[in-house]
Amino acid sequence: MKTLLAVDGSDHSYEGVRALKYLRRADDLTLLHVVDAPKPAYPMMMPEVAQELYAQLERSMKEDGEQLLTRVQSLLPLHSGPVTKLLEVGSPAEQIVAAAESRHVDLIVMGARGLGPVKERLFGSVSHRVLSMAPCAKLILQGSLRSLKEVLLPLQGTSDAEAAVRFLAKQPFHEPVNVNLLTVLPPTRPPWPVDNRAAEQLEAQALGHARDFVEEVAAKLRALGYTTRATSLLGVPLTMILHEAERLRVDLILVGSRARQGITRFVLGSVSHAVLHRAPCQVLVFE
């Protein structure tokens, strides 16, 4: 598995360094720092002078960036794998996505920025753009990943399940984990009048199909060497996912993104987006 660790010197980016100890040894680990030097905004300054000031600032930021990459490399876990240090200049989000594409990365690890004063945790613009545009799995850390033994995998359908199995087949974790599979059916009533008993029978039948679906996915994961627990529930998907995450005290939630065409190639579904912002633990988004 190829991994890219994007660092900017913030506390959150060092959480990314620490999180690597829970991930499998990378076939190739890219340490990336992006220099985004601000353009001087002095309209009365001669263009030659402004350009020289910018060049000096960029050189200084590059030197700091090289030192940061060296420092980060010294902190990596022993099993991290072969390391390539990469220093780029430009828009951080665009450079991270470009590096992930050109190096055929399987997973991006980076810290979130921009925690707001409200209770809901907010991602910074860089991590939002990486989540939207990068064509691989993303682990955007909003805090410490203190352990990785219990994983919650909510599944919304066949495409989610297939993507999850593809990602987990890469054996992305350093130590064995228990995967708690979950599918949630929203409570719905048929459009035609039925009595309560008939409605309960329809719900039971739907839950039975959901149970078969999640058990089939669990069997595929067991064949890959994972221990699993499969659950199908009736309720509001977001509420039940967050409840199960709390109840099971999971260390990580795996959620799938939804592909679409257009300017934005990848977009999180509404449930996945809400989980990402409200989860009581770290979240990894797989494609």
**Are 155 and 118 within one domain?**
no
Q: Are residues 141 and 162 in the same domain?
A: no
Q: Does residue 275 share a domain with residue 165? A: yes
Question: What is the pLDDT, as a whole number, of residue 244?
Answer: 97
In the chain, the number of structural domains is 2
Terminal C-alpha separation, the chain: 15
Whether residues 170 and 122 share a domain: the answer is: no
**Residue 141 shares a structural domain with residue 252:** no
CA angle 217, 223, 226 (to 5 degrees): 80
My answer on whether 95 and 204 are in the same domain is no
Rounded CA-CA distance 123/215 in Å is: 34
Question: What is residue 54's predicted lDDT score, i.e. its pLDDT?
Answer: 76
Contact 24/1 with Cβ under 8 angstroms? yes
* Strand spans (E) along the chain: 2-6, 28-35, 83-89, 107-111, 137-141, 150-154, 178-185, 227-234, 252-256, 258-259, 266-267, 282-286
Task: Mark whether 116 and 158 lie in a shared domain.
Answer: no
Q: Are residue 4 and residue 116 in the same domain, yes or no?
A: yes
Claim to verify: residue 100 and residue 202 sit in the same structural domain: no
Cβ(62)–Cβ(7) below 8 Å: no
For residue range 270-279, what is the model confidence (pLDDT) as tens digits? 788 889 889 9
Tell me which of 90, 119, 145 is where a domain ends: 145
Q: Which residues contact 287 (CB under 8 A, 6 or more apart)?
A: 135, 136, 137, 163, 167, 256, 257, 259, 266
State which amino acid sits at residue 39. K
Q: Are residues 132 and 163 in the same domain?
A: no
Q: Give the CATH number for residue 178.
A: 3.40.50.620
Q: Which of 145, 163, 194 is the last residue of a domain?
A: 145
Supply the pLDDT for residue 222: 98
- In whole angstroms, give the CA distance from residue 20 to residue 255: 19
Q: How far is CA 66 from CA 26, 35, 137, in A?
A: 22, 10, 26
Residues 17, 96 within the same domain: yes
Domain enclosing residue 58, as ranges: 1-145
pLDDT in tens, 156-196: 889 999 999 999 999 999 999 999 999 998 876 655 555 67
Q: Are 100 and 226 members of one domain?
A: no
Of 145, 174, 202, the last residue of a domain is: 145
Positions of the chain with pLDDT under 50: 114-122, 260-266
Return the pLDDT at 52.
76
